[in-house]
Amino acid sequence: MEEKRKSRRLKDENEITVNVISAEKKPLQEKLFYNYSADISVAGARIKAPIFLPAGTILMIEMTLKTLHQMITVLGKVKWARVIFDNESFEAGVEFFNAPGDDMKQLSEYISCRQEFCLFYVS
């Protein structure tokens, strides 16, 4: 099977704050929530969510990188979503498309550092 990912993912759980900027199909009632990322790369992340996030939804994600105790902010677009548990727990694949300032550089350095010292990759 052909790999579609642009970059390798690091299995890494970080606290996130998600602000829903826009939803293509219908407005979401919950616009702000707190949860965790399940894995991450410089191109995107798999996030856990308390609501279903339809493909195309634009998000602003503030992520606290646990080993650096530093927050970065990225904009992303939901590429896929699925129900994890009985319409109470969800996951979404988010592709990053913008980050202010040095946040993408910090994210890239964080991932590189973790990959060098830890061998917890998601293929």
**pLDDT recorded at residue 66:** 76
Q: What is the rounded distance in angstroms from the CA atom of residue 22 to the CA atom of residue 71? A: 22
**pLDDT recorded at residue 120:** 47
H-type alpha helices, 1-123: 103-117
What is the tens place of the pLDDT at every residue in 79-96?
999 998 887 889 999 999
Q: Is the pLDDT of residue 29 over 80?
A: no
9-118 classified as CATH 3.40.190.10: no
Give the residue extent of every domain in the chain.
Answer: 9-118
What is the tens place of the pLDDT at every residue in 32-45?
899 999 899 989 99
**pLDDT recorded at residue 108:** 85
Q: What is the rounded distance in angstroms from the CA atom of residue 47 to the CA atom of residue 91? A: 6
